[in-house]
A = this chain, B = another copy of it.
């Protein structure tokens, strides 16, 4: 624990899986003098105090951010613009405003026009999570050994970026800095498409006749259950991701569709060699994932 914490006061707007995990990790490592939490729901605020990962909760966003040198938005992407408006009166000069959203271009689009030039906007995205939601789901170790991507716009104060990098590193993450656009293209492939596909396939099963559906659940260990886990993630959060990374997601769906059609055709025409060839090629990617210690 440092003698002088990295931040005087950290305010977390949103106290779900990610927000409450950041709070727990920051508290464990003594990185903030005070942790203030805001959540729209009274129940979440009360539960967060009970769980003890915040020092104080505030129902009003402006009160919550007052005096904070770091404000981190941990709510669904669709709330950012109105939340920024609401916190504006309380924002301290020189504060760093960051977030943990899964799309990054839209953060610049939504926040840059609202925030005063005296605050430092440094959007972020920790590549970590589980299928569970809410303040009870968080834990301090969530970010250990995981990547956190920061996407500061051109001209951002380097000292502000450095302080945020130090925070993420202190709670166990490896930080990468890249452009928001690049982030959104990469994540469309690694995260948004897989989630969309998982939601689709579980939806397809949901529409089966009742007796078939119950058997699909019984025999889910054959591959399906991994998809149900992914498709159990927070619906509002994922709605906002797809609405806010539309272009990149539509482009990868298109590529995916072409590839699926090719496989479908190979099955229809009994082209075993083509199937085997593809199924062999994909093993190399798995080895890459294991070698990168992300398995």
Q: Is the CB of B190 within 8 A of A127?
A: no
4 closest Cβ pairs, A-B complex: A191-B222, A235-B279, A194-B223, A232-B286
| Chain B residues closer than 8 Å to A246, beta-carbon distance | 267-268, 270
Q: Is the CB of B206 within 8 A of A147?
A: no
Q: Residues of A within 8 Å of B, CB-based: how many?
A: 94
A37-45, A62-70, A80-88, A254-262 - interface stretch? A254-262
| Chain B residues closer than 8 Å to A264, beta-carbon distance | 250, 253
A28-36, A112-120, A161-169, A211-219 - interface stretch? A211-219
Shortest Cβ distance from A202 into B: residue: B282
Central interface residue in A206, A224, A243, A249, by most chain B CB within 10 Å:
A224
| Chain B residues closer than 8 Å to A276, beta-carbon distance | 235-236, 239
A128 within 8 A of B: yes
A263 within 8 A of B: yes
A200 within 8 A of B: yes
Interface positions, chain A 98-123, Cβ under 8 Å from B, are 102
Contact of A212 among B189, B214, B217 (CB under 8 A): B189
A292 within 8 A of B: yes
Q: Is the CB of A186 within 8 A of B201?
A: no
Bitwise, A253-295 to B at CB < 8 A (1) or not (0) is: 1011101100110011010100110111111111011001011
Bound-complex Cα distance A240 to B255 (A)? 25
Contacts from A to B (Cβ < 8 Å): 78, 102, 127-129, 131, 146-147, 149, 176, 185-187, 189-208, 212-233, 235-236, 238-240, 242-243, 246, 249-250, 252-253, 255-257, 259-260, 263-264, 267-268, 270, 272, 275-276, 278-286, 288-289, 292, 294-295
| Chain B residues closer than 8 Å to A146, beta-carbon distance | 221
Contact of A253 among B191, B206, B260 (CB under 8 A): B260
Inter-chain pairs besides A220-B294, A228-B295, 7 sampled, C-beta below 8 Å: A186-B216, A187-B222, A207-B255, A218-B292, A223-B230, A224-B289, A225-B294
Bound-complex Cα distance A115 to B87 (A)? 77
Q: Is the CB of B285 within 8 A of A219?
A: no
Q: Is the CB of B223 within 8 A of A195?
A: yes
